[in-house]
Homo-oligomer: A and B are copies of this chain.
Amino acid sequence: MTQTNRQILLVSRPQGAASTDNFRLVETPLAPLAEGEVRVRNHFLSLDPYMRGRMNDSKSYAAPQALDTVMIGGTVGEVVESRNAKFKAGDKVVGMAGWQEYGTSNGADLRVVDTTHVPLSAYLGPVGMPGVTGWYGLNGIIKPQAGQTVVVSAASGAVGSVVGQLAKRAGCRAVGIAGGAEKCRYVTETLGFDACVDYKAGNLYQDLKTATPEGVDGYFENVGGAVLDATLARMNPFGRIAVCGMIAGYDGEPVPLKFPQLILTQRLLVQGFIVTEHLDVWPQALTELGTLVGKQQLVYRESVADGLENAPEAFLGMLKGQNFGKQLVKLI
């Protein structure tokens, strides 16, 4: 009997906000493996803000996702069949199979991981791309010094939670920005940040000022828009801003930066980065992050949607900040 794969394709580009109409669930038969190929049953799919950028047909750091192809995405799963000597059935692997239940590849995109101390799904979060993203922006760009203040937006998310916890370990005052009292409570009480500002409470700048009495030396930017404007106005001389995401502008309507002259008057360094262009730091970052997670010294939280068919809805919710922690889709 031929096995069936379920996949989600990108079938149209958003005009303004993305919608479920941009996606389509299809069922396709699985072809027998060719020599050298590996088949993985995906357990979890990662949903990440960068995917929204790929849906547009515009100049960006990556080619747009082609229409009528499986949506790109990081996955973890288990090898179910292998005609490649490097993999055997039962191996737990991290890959980029995208929004589908089974991934088939020549194995070049797969990495076998050890789930003895680190849960498989964590390889899509704190010990995966989001974790390394936080690690690189903090250590490679912000370069925090003990006693300084580091602010991170989307603080309860997969990247932000890592940034703040690592900043605390570096001896900094860690201040988060998140949406809603519940997320803020989690950021301070569970993640151990010194303070968290609720950007939905209506007093963003004043609340941020109160939370950063000595100004801001490092800012890890995940959202852009009004949050960036407010934090920029709190930057100390020689502050560093690592620009990792600008989710506020993803729906096509560019959000201007109100006070660019602060870059000059405060002599700021503002640097955009894409973590996959800094592969040299991945081994060190993954080792450090894996050790911390294994020892339960790095806390993380997951928001898990159940079933591939719910991936589009979960993705759109994440873009609106409805997730709470790393957004995953459980596929099995």
Interface string of A261-281 (1 = CB under 8 A from B): 101111111111110010000
Residue interface bits A244-273, CB-to-B below 8 A is 1, else 0: 111001000011111111011111111111
| A261 close to B254 (CB less than 8 A) | yes
Partner of A274, one of B59, B267, B271: B267
Bound-complex Cα distance A224 to B259 (A): 11
> Is A243 in contact with B263, judged by CB distance below 8 angstroms?
yes
* Shortest Cβ distance from A270 into B: residue: B270
Tell whether A73 is near chain B: CB-to-CB under 8 Å. Answer: no
A260 CA / B257 CA spacing, docked (Å): 6
B residues less than 8 Å from A254 (CB atoms): 258-261
CB distance from A9 to the nearest CB of B (A): 24
Q: How far is the CA of A269 from the CA of B243 in the complex (A)?
A: 10
Q: How far is the CA of A60 from the CA of B258 in the complex (A)?
A: 16
Q: Is A237 an interface residue (CB 8 A)?
A: yes
Residues of B close to A273: CB separation below 8 A: 267
Question: How far is A166 from B258 in the complex, measured between Cα atoms in Å?
Answer: 33
The residue in A266, A269, A270, A274 that gathers the most chain B C-beta atoms within 10 A of its C-beta is A270
Contact in complex: B277, A272 (CB < 8 Å):
no
Query: Is A152 an interface residue, CB under 8 A from the partner?
Result: no
A261→B254 CA distance, assembly (Å): 8
Tell me which residues across on chain B come within 8 A of A271, comparing CB atoms: 263, 267-270
Query: Given A237-B61, A267-B274, A271-B270, is A249 in contact with B224 using a C-beta cutoff of 8 Å?
Result: no
A290 to B263, CA, bound (A): 30
- Any B CB within 8 A of the CB of A178: no
A207 to B258, CA, bound (A): 26
Alpha-carbon distance between A256 and B271 when the two chains are bound, in angstroms: 18
Q: Please, how many angstroms separate the alpha-carbon atoms of A260 and B245 in the complex?
A: 11
Question: From A264, which residue of chain B is reached at the shortest CB distance?
Answer: B272
Q: Is A53 an interface residue (CB 8 A)?
A: yes
Distance in angstroms between the alpha carbons of A273 and B270 in the assembled complex: 12
- Which residues from B are CB-within-8-Å of A163? none
Please indicate the chain B residues that have their CB under 8 angstroms from the CB of A259 in the complex: 254, 256
- Please determine whether A260 and B60 come into contact, CB atoms closer than 8 angstroms: no
Across-interface contacts of A228 in B (CB, < 8 A):
260
Q: CA A263 – CA B256 in complex, angstroms?
A: 12
Which chain B residues lie closer than 8 Å to A263 at the CB level?
Answer: 243, 270-272
Question: Do A261 and B246 have beta carbons less than 8 Å apart?
Answer: yes
- 12 residue pairs A–B, Cβ–Cβ below 8 Å: A61-B264, A61-B267, A228-B260, A244-B264, A245-B264, A249-B260, A254-B261, A255-B260, A257-B257, A266-B272, A269-B271, A269-B272
Given contacts A61-B237, A244-B264, A270-B270, 5 further A-B contacts (CB under 8 A): A59-B265, A224-B260, A224-B261, A246-B264, A256-B259
The 7 A-B residue pairs with the shortest CB-CB distance in the complex, in nearest-first order? A256-B256, A264-B272, A257-B260, A257-B257, A270-B270, A263-B272, A246-B261
